[in-house]
Structure 1
Amino acid sequence: MRVTVFGATGSIGRLVVQRLLDDGHTVTTLVRTPAKLGLTHLRLTLTTGQPSDQTAVRTAVAGADVVISALGPTLKRSATGTPVTEGTKNIVAAMESEKVTRYIGLATPSLTDPKDNPHWKLKVLPVMARLMFPNALIELRGMTAAVTATGLDYTIARITNPTNKPASGRIRSGFLGHDKIGSTMARADIAAFLVSQLTDTRYPRTMPAISN
């Protein structure tokens, strides 16, 4: 498949790109500094720019079968503004213009999915986020709403505590209060789950929680 990846220089995004290439896909990325990605490949196209640049975003999305966004908000308490939300809106607009319908992205269980049942995380995590990372929570809500309010075929994986442990290959996914989902997950396994959604049909227009 032809996959466009946003957030490719991040700790999860870089793993997503490598996984896609290993699996034989053709990858386009939008990166501010191409050298920062540290990858070269015949099936990898590096587009220079950032999500705030509508023209660059549309160039990166053109011709794609799927978009994977590994973008996420900064956790700095001093952060202000909503650059990730605005960038996601640009991605959605580009997808609609280029008639790309499949979107795979990230969020956290601070946000709920209609398939969730009552669960302590749905009560505790939003409160913690408001206290510790208020702007990040605003960003998460904004970037997620930018996708879910559209007709896109989206799957947004909710993660809680990513780690740099080696990939275990053990991935739990489902909905809070219904499936047994933990909190910790290796970033390599998060990347593997995102890539698996290229062909996994279990989670159309939903936000499954995932863990090891």
Structure 2
Amino acid sequence: MRLTVFGATGGVGQEVVRQALAAGHRVTAVVRDPARLTVTGSGLEVVRADLTAPEALRSAVAGRDAVLSGLGARSRKEAGVASRLTRAVLHAMGAEGVRRVVVVSASPLAEPAPGAPLLDRAARSVLWTVLRDIYEDLREMEGELARSATDWTVMRPPRLTNGPLTGTYRTVVGGNPLRGRTLARADVAHAMLTATADPATVKQPVGVAY
């Protein structure tokens, strides 16, 4: 497939690029600072672009089979980044007729499942109190996707780690895996690439965790 990756210099984004290239896909990595992208490969095209300018992103998504995004705030000071930049990506996709998009959100966006442990319910409440600005930004991003004409999938991992790729994790369409509290960034990327070709995840949020 021909894929475009936004947020390609982040922890999840670099894993998406690395794994996509290893699988034989052609990858366009859209970055603000090419020096921060450490992944290389013969099937890689690196595009430097202003992510706030939708028209400048059109050439990066034109003719692609899917778009994958690891865009998001790295701190509370950056709250608003996910929805604002995703809005620009969706505009560019719409202008070029590209429909498939898979993005990263977060597990606290889902309501606790019936039977969820009290510890997990309490942790979600604390996280929402402390990181409300970031989660409201992600909620708005998910709303932008839901209102769009794209075939979107939202991946909702829990706390991210830098563990190795395992390819072994649980997914729940429309919810979160019970007691799923961590996931390596490498496995988030694996789940995103897997979902790209899975019609069961289209227009759905997907919880993913160990």
Q: TM-score, normalised by structure 2?
A: 0.89
| Aligned-residue offset at 1:59 | 2.0
| Aligned-residue offset at 1:131 | 1.9
Distance (Å, rounded) in 2 between the aligned partners of 1:178 and 1:107: 12
Distance (Å, rounded) in 2 between the aligned partners of 1:172 and 1:200: 15
Name the structure 2 match of 1:13: 13
3-state DSSP class of the match of 1:9?
Answer: coil
3-state DSSP class of the match of 1:157?
Answer: strand
Name the structure 2 match of 1:165: 163
Distance (Å, rounded) in 2 between the aligned partners of 1:81 and 1:188: 24
Distance (Å, rounded) in 1 between the aligned partners of 2:176 and 2:159: 20
Name the structure 2 match of 1:192: 190
Superposed CA offset, 1:121-167 (max 9, x none): 89546532332112211211111111111221111110111111112
**Do 1:162 and 1:187's aligned partners in 2 also have CA atoms closer than 8 Å?**
yes
Name the structure 2 match of 1:148: 146
Alignment size in residue pairs: 208
Name the structure 2 match of 1:48: 48
| Aligned-residue offset at 1:109 | 2.2
Distance (Å, rounded) in 1 between the aligned partners of 2:51 and 2:122: 31
Deviates more, 1:13-22 or 1:166-175: 166-175
**Do 1:48 and 1:56's aligned partners in 2 also have CA atoms closer than 8 Å?**
no
The residue type paired with residue 103 of structure 2 is: G
Higher helix share: 2
**Do 2:160 and 2:182's aligned partners in 1 also have CA atoms closer than 8 Å?**
yes
Q: TM-score, normalised by structure 1?
A: 0.88
3-state DSSP class of the match of 2:109?
Answer: coil
Aligned-CA RMSD value: 2.3
The residue type paired with residue 109 of structure 1 is: S
3-state DSSP class of the match of 1:154?
Answer: strand
Distance (Å, rounded) in 2 between the aligned partners of 1:39 and 1:185: 21
Distance (Å, rounded) in 1 between the aligned partners of 2:104 and 2:59: 22
3-state DSSP class of the match of 2:10?
Answer: coil
**Do 1:47 and 1:56's aligned partners in 2 also have CA atoms closer than 8 Å?**
no
**Do 1:73 and 1:140's aligned partners in 2 also have CA atoms closer than 8 Å?**
no
Name the structure 2 match of 1:34: 34
Distance (Å, rounded) in 1 between the aligned partners of 2:59 and 2:190: 26
Distance (Å, rounded) in 2 between the aligned partners of 1:80 and 1:47: 23
Segments of 5+ residues of structure 2 without an aligned counterpart are none
Distance (Å, rounded) in 1 between the aligned partners of 2:115 and 2:175: 5
Superposed CA offset, 1:46-98 (max 9, x none): 1102321223222211121100001122233xx16623211110111111111
Distance verdict in 2 for CA 1:95–1:176, change over 3 Å: closer
**Do 2:6 and 2:30's aligned partners in 1 also have CA atoms closer than 8 Å?**
yes
**Do 1:111 and 1:126's aligned partners in 2 also have CA atoms closer than 8 Å?**
no
Segments of 5+ residues of structure 1 without an aligned counterpart are none
Distance (Å, rounded) in 2 between the aligned partners of 1:181 and 1:174: 12
3-state DSSP class of the match of 2:72?
Answer: coil
